[in-house]
Amino acid sequence: MQAVILAGGKGARLKPHTEEIPKPLVPVGGKPIVEILLSRMKDLGVTEVVMCVNHLADLIEKALGDGSRLGLNIRYSHEDQPLSTVAPLKLIDNLQDNFLVANGDILTDLDFAKLYQHHLDQKAQITVATHRRLNKIDYGVIGTNDEGVAVSFEEKPVFDFEVSMGVYVFSKSILSLVPEGAPFGFDHLMLKMLEENLPINTYSYDGYWMDIGRPEDYAQAQRDIENNRGLIEE
């Protein structure tokens, strides 16, 4: 398998941890988060990785090198300007017909090989790994009509969502939907595919997943590692 890791963002939401290092190099359990991700991918059959980099790219390249230390072949694709999460893929040469894509700041025990095989079995253009997330609202929620009159009330409701894990499998053909040289994100791709009635395949996963996007998520990931070293040690 070939994988593309999106590692070009500034990690603004994770400050102050990202003041001097890029978010993929923020340590969890003593290891950079992206190294944990790459090691798991390697153990599940990934051999080649393309790192999409921009912000503090030199630090990422210095930390990971050519990947030989991790048993991988790593190369780098540089963005001259921020291109969001999908447009950077258009810059990469020699992409396979189907390839994994993942944000460089996630911690998960997802089986990437099973996700990849599911994508192939479904002959999908894109497969989005999803995770069930429950969001509790700590207030009484009032529904109103156009006249501002209450028509419903629910005390501290819990909403159930399937959210994107920031892990996908792409068919290279889908890149024809992506404009050249302009920012284009996963949200743009989803809306464009829905608008054009193109199928979006999903793969629901109920195991461990954490997006290290905010300080509270980072703190939770550190606690999770303390309680389960297996997340980073095979």
- pLDDT tens track for 43-102: 999 999 999 998 888 999 999 999 999 999 999 999 888 888 999 999 999 999 999 999
Instruction: Check residue 15 and give its pLDDT.
Output: 57
Is 200 within 8 Å of 190 (Cβ atoms)? yes
State the pLDDT at residue 69. Answer: 94
Mean pLDDT of the chain: 90
pLDDT of residue 178: 95
CA angle 104, 164, 194 (to 5 degrees): 120
Beta bridge partners of 96: none
pLDDT (tens digit per residue) in 90-142: 999 999 999 999 999 999 999 999 999 999 999 999 999 999 988 888 999 99
Highest mean pLDDT out of 20-29, 166-175, 204-213: 166-175
**3 state DSSP class of 13:** helix
- AA letter at 222: Q
pLDDT at 13 over 70: no
* Residue ranges covered by each domain of the chain: 2-132+161-231
Residue 12's pLDDT is 56
In the predicted structure, residue 199 carries a pLDDT above the cut 80:
yes
Residues sharing a CB contact under 8 Å with residue 125, sequence separation 6 or more, in sequence order: 170, 171, 173, 174, 193, 198, 199, 201
Q: Is the pLDDT of residue 213 over 60?
A: yes
Asked if residue 164 has pLDDT above 90, the reply is yes
Q: What 3-state class would DSSP assign to 43?
A: helix
Beta 140-144 vs 201-204: how paired, if at all? unpaired
Spell out the CATH class of 2-132+161-231: alpha beta
